[in-house]
A and B are shown apart, each in its own frame.
Chain A
Amino acid sequence: MGQDARPNWDSPMQFVLACVSYAVGLGNVWRFPYLCQMHGGGGFLIPYLIMLFLEGVPLFYLELAIGQKMSLGSIGAWTAISPYLGGVGLASVVTSLYLCLYYNIINAWSFWYLFHSFQSVLPWAECPINSNRTGPTEECEKATPTQYFFYRETLNIAPSIEENGGIHGGQALCLLLAWVITYLFIVRGVKSTGKVVYFTATFPYAVLLIYLVRGITLHGAINGVKFMFTPNMEHLADPNTWINAATQIFFSLGLGFGSLIAFASYNHYNNNFERQAIVVSLINSGTSIFASIVTFSIYGFKATVNYESCLERTRVLLLNTFNIAEDNINIDNVFEWIEKLNTTYPEQFAKLNNKLEECDLETELSSAVEGAGLAFIVYSEAIKNMPLPQLWSVLYFLMLLMLGMGSMLGNVTAIITPLRDFKVMSHMSSELFNGLVCVFCLLLGLGFTTTSGNYWFTIFNDYGATFSLLFIVLIEVITVSYIYGLKRFEKDIEDMLGHRPNWYWKIMWSITSPLLLIFLFIIYIVKYINGGTPTYQAWNKELGTSVVTEYPVFGQLFIGLLLVSSISCVPLTALYVFCKKRKLGNHEKREHTVSTVSA
């Protein structure tokens, strides 16, 4: 009895929390603050909010409507809308599969850092001692302890993508744990997911709030917050600002993966998704802004600590070189003393010119980082300087885990829901099917735990989903507006909600969003063509820093394969359906002629 009826969310609240848990992910914490800093601080909010209303909310509404109306996963839903465009659903599934493969690695890293926080001295706070016990390891000395811990102890990274070593045992164990927990969350489908999202959606906000209070009270945090919020309106004239705002809204809401369609397909037919779409989109953007306040107070703290330790080192250098009594120079008058000593002992001063560092707070603040580097290197560097660092470390990595796991729920559901709509799969029990999907992704994901795995991760991160998503969502909005017809869509919505969507939605779906997406699509293509050979950051052991390296031929081929494999689903499926229909049509015609003859 239970297998035929489609399972539902226990309450609309579960659906909203699931969408929030999915949309609010790591990108809100590590991409938005970077964009804010790059594009004029507070001024970036203007293009961001404009894009939210021009493309974010309407496209979100569109996907929820389709899922709730068709009550099928992405493949089934798009096939129902137009048989030739079932490929859009298939492309979503393929893109979600790529995302699932590499996204859980981030969760594995979070687990690794979380487990390593239970030590009296955080392992990324100090360099390990070399074998002679004379000083720190060479690689660690050239870089910083946090970078060393990330690149050497966590990843054991190879010098380039071409060299491969074995699998990192600890990473593999953490990846296994990540997939086991994902399975635990989705084992019963919506019934288990619905209960988990109460926690994964709300816990990150609790931690962000705690961190906000902790962050604002840190020494020097106010420098960071001031730096971020000073709006720099000149950036609004730069087209890159608007493009980045559009892409950030787009990817942050998780459109095009099929997760929203999958989640909405478990709704009751008359659920009021219009209000929910607006609420979830606003919560997502609000969280980005909230998280960037926290990030910037942490930035400010870290920059101030670095600046002050730079001053301290300069002070000790001056004291030692000129043999001045200790309490004559303190941090406040270092610069005055430099001037004084330069004039009184010029030759001696010239001798230590190469040892003297430039200490500047502005440079420290403007070193903006995004992505895994921000989350795992910059943040852990800030945490190690806080009082009681173990507690803050545990809280922070638990929050990253909740954000990542919440998004994984959506990603895996996007694969499972459409596949289960096929009759072949629905005979298998849901526990077994979900388990098989998790095992499959785990085995493929082990490739990312090898020594060159991080470079493959970067390939997937940069190319696996970005371009294909733009294409998928563009086809989606054009299909609904023009092929399926806006009038039919309006009637469907009226059927579900009881009222038609007003003129704002209709204009966005038919004109604004498609135009914006076409524009973004063209910009991406132009950037790819003009960018030359794609490059990546390879970690150089001797220099202790990242070096820009070009991808080898097989790397570029793989990038091309990634892009083509998901995009080509659309035309290939259309072709397949067209051929099948024509064969069926010929078959019918032949039967018809036969019957008339026999008659």
Chain B
Amino acid sequence: MLEKILLLFCLSSALAENLCRPDASNGYKVRLSIKRALGDEAYVWNQDEMFLFRATLAFAMRNHLSGQDFQVSNILVCDETPRVSFWFIVTSPLDATRPVGKEDVEEAIRKSRSRINSAFLLTDQTLEFIGIIPTLAAPVSPDTPPWLIVFGVVMGSVGAGIIVLLVYPVVHKRLKKDEEEEELEEEEGEEETRRVKTMENGAAGDGAHNLSFTDDERFTQM
């Protein structure tokens, strides 16, 4: 009995080794650049991290092919290097000897790419799946380009400046002319009332009220 189990185990692992190899037709190469992404806070890549990777990938497969219960054991990994790069291959949960097609794996990874990245605190550039091009974020295009707004502000203020420069002297001249006309009218009006007043005073017979001096005063003041 024990021998049978041992044989099965050896067979499956041998098969697994056969399935997973570099340049496998259904496998992908993964490369992580942890030090580049995290610098001093980089974690060490060990078997626990590898377990997380396999679990995350199983999650991605479940996400894509709903209904199929992928397990960690369905993700086979081989050819690990100090670079932190390795090959993996996904086997079907129903039959451990049959690998899942490349397109399905690619779709699954594409769908859950951001979840896989965030599980390792990495980005599309530092966690690379060789052969799967990341879909770049759509460019944000605002309704009015920002440069047009700044342009509008500058153009508006310059235009206002020109109008002020052109209109100000005309307005100034007109205001001054109006002021001068008003002053002239006021002076003429005052002269008349004063002349009437002095005449009245003179008529009242208050004595020698020198009219000419009054008039002269008016003129010199002007």
Contacts and interface: CB of A to CB of B under 8 A. Distances in A.
Interface of A: 111-112, 114-116, 118-119, 128-129, 133-135, 170, 173-174, 176-177, 180-181, 183-184, 187-188, 192, 316, 319-320, 323-327, 431
Contact of B162 (A114, A135, A176, A183): A183
Interface of B: 31, 33-36, 81-85, 133, 135-136, 138-139, 146-148, 150-151, 154-155, 158-159, 161-162, 165-166
A406 B34 CA distance: 53
Nearest to A177: B155
A129 B134 CA distance: 12
Contact of A319 (B83, B138, B146, B151): B83
A323 B83 contact: yes
The 10 closest A-B pairs by CB, nearest first: A323-B81, A115-B147, A325-B82, A323-B83, A326-B35, A115-B150, A116-B147, A133-B136, A129-B136, A184-B162
Nearest to A113: B147
A426 B36 CA distance: 71
A133 B135 contact: yes
17 contacts: A111-B154, A112-B147, A115-B151, A116-B146, A118-B146, A133-B138, A174-B151, A177-B154, A177-B158, A184-B162, A184-B165, A187-B162, A187-B165, A324-B82, A326-B83, A326-B84, A431-B166
Contacts of B165: 184, 187-188, 192
A180 B158 contact: yes
A578 to B, nearest CB: 44
B135 A134 contact: yes
B59 to A, nearest CB: 25
Contacts of A326: 33-36, 83-84
Contacts of A319: 83
Q: Main SS of the interface on chain B? A: helix
Contacts of B133: 134-135
A139 to B, nearest CB: 16
Nearest to A176: B155
B146 A323 contact: no
Contacts of B139: 128-129
Given A180-B162, A188-B165, A326-B84, 19 more contacts: A115-B154, A116-B147, A119-B146, A128-B139, A129-B139, A134-B136, A170-B147, A173-B151, A174-B151, A177-B154, A177-B155, A181-B158, A183-B162, A184-B161, A316-B33, A320-B83, A324-B82, A325-B83, A326-B36
Nearest to B79: A323
B144 to A, nearest CB: 12
Contacts of A323: 81-83, 85
A447 B125 CA distance: 44
Contacts of A324: 82-83
B176 to A, nearest CB: 15
A327 B82 CA distance: 10
B146 to A, nearest CB: 6
A541 B31 CA distance: 34
B82 A180 contact: no
A431 B163 CA distance: 12
Most buried by A among B83, B135, B161: B83
Nearest to B151: A115
A135 B136 contact: yes
Given A133-B135, A319-B83, A323-B81, A118 B166 contact: no
Contacts of A111: 151, 154
A431 B36 CA distance: 63
Contacts of A112: 147
A152 to B, nearest CB: 15
B44 to A, nearest CB: 11
A327 B36 CA distance: 9
A256 B165 CA distance: 32
Nearest to B134: A134
B46 to A, nearest CB: 13
Contacts of B148: 115
Interface centre among B147, B151, B158 (most CB of A within 10 A): B147
B25 to A, nearest CB: 21
Contacts of A173: 151, 155
Contacts of A128: 139
A243 to B, nearest CB: 42
A187 B161 CA distance: 11
A118 B166 CA distance: 32
Contacts of A184: 158, 161-162, 165
Contacts of A327: 35
A111 B154 CA distance: 10
Contacts of A134: 133, 135-136
A486 B104 CA distance: 93
B151 A177 contact: yes
A85 B112 CA distance: 81
A216 B155 CA distance: 36
Contacts of B150: 114-115, 118
B37 to A, nearest CB: 10
Contacts of B151: 111, 115, 173-174, 177
Nearest to B86: A323
Nearest to A322: B83
A330 to B, nearest CB: 10
A335 B135 CA distance: 35
